[in-house]
Each structure stands twice: as structure tokens, then as C-alpha cells.
Amino acid sequence: MIRLVLVLAVARVLFLPCSTLADGHLRNAETLYAAGAFEAAEGEYRLHLLSEPGSTVALFRAAQSAMGQAKYRVAASDFARVRESGTGLAGRASFLVGLANYRLLDYSSAWMEWGELVRWVEDDDLVAAAQYGRVWCAIHGHDWSSAQAELARTRSLFPGRELDDREKALAEALRGAEALPLRSPGAAKWLSTALPGAGQIYSGRVVNGVVSTGINGAFLYFLGRSVAGGRWVDAVFIYLGGSRFYWGGRQNAERFARERNKETREAFVARLAQYDF
């Protein structure tokens, strides 16, 4: 009798309608997602999609679960499918495609996605968020003027709307970009051309500049002595060996200036991070 009951119970599970099983997976997924168990939730959403492949809600939630696990490429692909569905979730999905690309540090893709969203989505909150995202894409590209222009564009998109406190603080902080202590790579190169080591010192590499000055000073000293003494063979070998340091110093000075500028800009972006998403 017990065996018969077990057989009947198993049979009921095996022959449940697909929709019933799918609904079960969806309920489990929602519970797991609410608990922050994103990996398990995503698995349940994917199981639901096997039975209901057209469920944009489940696909959207699976993408959100992937985002919760920092699986941004998977999330971007799924959100793009929801966006293309043209359903009521398309606008939110478009914003999240941009956000997933932003988290992947693909700022150019995020910039374009959010730019398109601003053109066709009618939800003001989404448009405002996308516009702010474009500001940050410009900031990460060290394009301060574009960042300021995108902030200013917010007013044209929403006539009569004032910038909120965060936007105002960011706009004020961006003005500091004009005072960043940058170095000219060209000036650094020509300084080291005229006085070996000077360009490195100008670029902030004082020790390297002093060493370069010493090496090139010794090179010129021994080269001069060889020429003055008529030891032309010695002069040729000294020149071939020492000139590498001279010309290399010019290139290093230019490279150090570029590296210093990059570090300075990245430090500035880090100071602005309190206003990021």
C-alpha cells in the first residue's frame, strides 16, 4: 500500500503541467532573489525560461540576478534581449544595458546606450539617470568639457528643473579640472634635449632626472676628451654607447610627463567618486 502511494506521488510530479512547474520555479526564484541569493535565483529563473522562453519578466529578473553576481556581460546580453522585446520593461532594460557596460568599464558603449535611451524613453527618472550616466562616462574618459556639457544638457531636457544637490556638487567639483597640475610632454622632451635630465625633473621624476644628468654629463665629458685628444675610434665607441642614454632620456621625459598627467587625472576622478552612481 505504501509503495502504491509513493508511485502515485512520483507520477503526479512527473506529469505536472509545464506551466505549473514553471510557476514553481518563478516563485522559488522570487523568494531567493528577495533573500539576496542571486546565483540560486538566476538558476531558477533560467529553469522557468526553459518552459516559458517568451517570459520577458523572468529574463529581466535573471539579468538582475546576474548583475547581483557581477556577471555583467551575461546581464548586458539578457537586458538587450528584453530591450528589443518592446515590452513595458524595455526602457529599464535599456538603462541597465548601459549600466552593465559601465560596470565593465566599457564607457563608450554605455555612453551610446544611454544616449539612445534619452531619445526614445519617456520615463523622466530613467532619462535623468541615463543623462547622469553620460556625465560619468565623459569623466572616466577625462573629457571634462563634455561632462560639464552633459550636466548642463539636463536643464534643456527638463525645462524648469534645477540640478539636485549631488549634480550641483559635481558641477562645482568639475571646475577644479582647469587647475590640474599637468605637464606638457613636448616641453619635457625639449627640456631634456637642451639639458639632459631637466625634462624628467619637470615631469616629477627627480631621481631619474639627476641620474640622467650625471650619466649624460660623464658621456659628454669623455666624448669631449676623446675628440680633443684625437682619439677618434674611442670617440665613436663612446658616442655609440652614450648617445643611447641621451636620446633615451628625451623619450623618457616625454613618457614620464604623459604618465604623470594620467595619474593626476585618475586621482581627480577618484576624488569625484563620491558623486558616482
Could you tell me if 159 and 254 lie in one domain?
Answer: no
- Buried b / exposed e over 125-135, threshold 16 CB at 10 Å, is ebbbbbbbbbb
Question: Where among 179, 211, 229 does a domain terminate?
Answer: 179
State the CATH number of the domain containing residue 26: 1.25.40.10
Say which residues have a Cβ less than 8 Å from residue 203's Cβ, sequence separation at least 6: 183, 188, 253, 256, 257, 259, 260
pLDDT of residue 169: 92
Question: Is there a domain that residue 134 lies in?
Answer: yes
Q: What is the 3-state secondary structure (H, E, C) of 179-212?
A: HCCCCCHHHHHHHHHHCCCHHHHHCCCHHHHHHH
Q: Report if pTM > 0.85.
A: no
Task: Provide the pLDDT for residue 220.
Answer: 64
Q: Please indicate, yes or no, whether residues 196 and 156 belong to a single structural domain of this protein.
A: no
Residue 92 lies in a domain: yes
98 lies in the same domain as 225: no
- Give the domain-ending residue among 179, 201, 232: 179
Considering the domain architecture, whether residues 170 and 206 belong to the same structural domain is answered as: no
pLDDT at 248: 78
Considering the domain architecture, whether residues 39 and 157 belong to the same structural domain is answered as yes
In a domain, 75, yes or no: yes
Return the DSSP state at 53: T
Q: What pLDDT is attached to residue 239?
A: 62
**Are 198 and 269 members of one domain?**
yes
Residue that finishes a domain, picked among 179, 214, 234: 179
Residue ranges making up the domain that contains 110? 18-179
With respect to residue 145, please indicate whether it lies within any of the assigned structural domains. Answer: yes
In tens digits, what is the pLDDT along the chain, a chain of 277 residues?
Answer: 444 333 323 333 333 344 444 577 788 989 999 999 999 999 999 999 998 988 999 999 999 999 999 999 999 999 999 999 989 999 999 999 999 999 999 999 999 999 999 999 989 999 999 999 999 999 999 999 999 999 888 878 887 777 788 888 999 999 999 899 999 999 999 998 888 888 889 999 888 878 877 776 676 666 577 777 777 766 666 666 666 777 778 888 999 999 999 999 999 999 999 998 7
The number of folded domains in the chain is 2
For residue 158, give the DSSP letter. Answer: S
Residue 266 CA to residue 260 CA, distance in Å, equals 10
Residue 10 lies in a domain: no
Q: State in Å, rounded, how far the first CA of the chain is from the last one.
A: 63
Per-residue model confidence (pLDDT) at position 162? 76
What is the distance of C-alpha 58 from the center of its chain?
A: 28
Question: What pLDDT does 219 receive?
Answer: 65
Same domain assignment for residues 144 and 113: yes
